[in-house]
Amino acid sequence: MQHTLSVLVEDKAGVLARVSSLLARRGFNIHSLAVGPTAEAGMSRMTIVVEAPELEQVKKQLHKLINVVKITELERERSVEREIMLIRISTTSGARSDVLEIGAIFKATVIDVGQSSITFQVTGTPAKLSDFFELVRAYGVIDMAKSGRIALSRENKARKLKAVGQ
């Protein structure tokens, strides 16, 4: 089963290597790992998508690492997830307008146009990127690069109402 973890770590050299080697030693397959700075200076956030039948052991082991500050498991329905994909698609003169139309439907941005190809930047949920890829595959995908997943938990939208008279 895939799990998405948001791991807040100190921004220090070697933290990424220690986290990834810990997961590898335990035999967990990392599907995606993205790291970047947070709003707080000196801190980074790792978004890790890992295949693990029992996640508690992974979390316990990660907590033992000195630079790990906080670990949160992100449930798909209670988080916002995004990826970015750059994809170059082969286009003939007859298919160019079809490929551009598919790009427009997915709100993809054209970032390069050549004689025989168009390169798009597509951002969105992993499912959106997968759907776009499947639609343009028939035209010929020349090259593709995709980022790891980034995610944040959603704000709890339930409002607590105060009792009358308080």
Is the full-model pTM beyond 0.75?
Answer: yes
Structural domain contains residue 49: yes
Structural domain contains residue 160: no
132-141 pLDDT, tens digit per residue, is: 999 999 999 9
Q: How many domains does the chain have?
A: 2
Question: Which residues constitute the domain of residue 126?
Answer: 80-151
Structural domain contains residue 156: no
Structural domain contains residue 38: yes
pLDDT (average), residues 106-117:
96
- CATH number, domain containing residue 41: 3.30.70.260
Structural domain contains residue 159: no
Q: Dihedral (C-alpha) 99, 120, 131, 149: value to the nearest 10 degrees?
A: 180
Q: What is the mean pLDDT of the chain?
A: 90
d(CA 20, CA 3): 15
Structural domain contains residue 101: yes
Same domain, 108 and 56: no
Start-to-end CA distance of the chain, whole Å, equals 46
Of 46, 74, 102, the one marking the end of a domain is 74
62-110 pLDDT, tens digit per residue, is: 988 989 999 999 988 889 999 999 999 999 888 999 999 999 999 999 9
Token representation of residue 153:
């938990």
Same domain, 40 and 85: no
Same domain, 62 and 105: no
Token representation of residue 21:
């080697």
User: What confidence score (pLDDT) does residue 28 get?
Assistant: 86
Of residues 142 and 29, more confidently modeled: 142
User: What confidence score (pLDDT) does residue 166 get?
Assistant: 47
User: What confidence score (pLDDT) does residue 163 get?
Assistant: 53
Same domain, 54 and 107: no
Of 16, 50, 74, the one marking the end of a domain is 74
Structural domain contains residue 21: yes
pLDDT (average), residues 140-148:
95
Same domain, 103 and 52: no
Contact yes or no for 46/16 (Cβ under 8 A): yes
Beta strands in 15-75 (DSSP E): 29-37, 43-51, 68-74
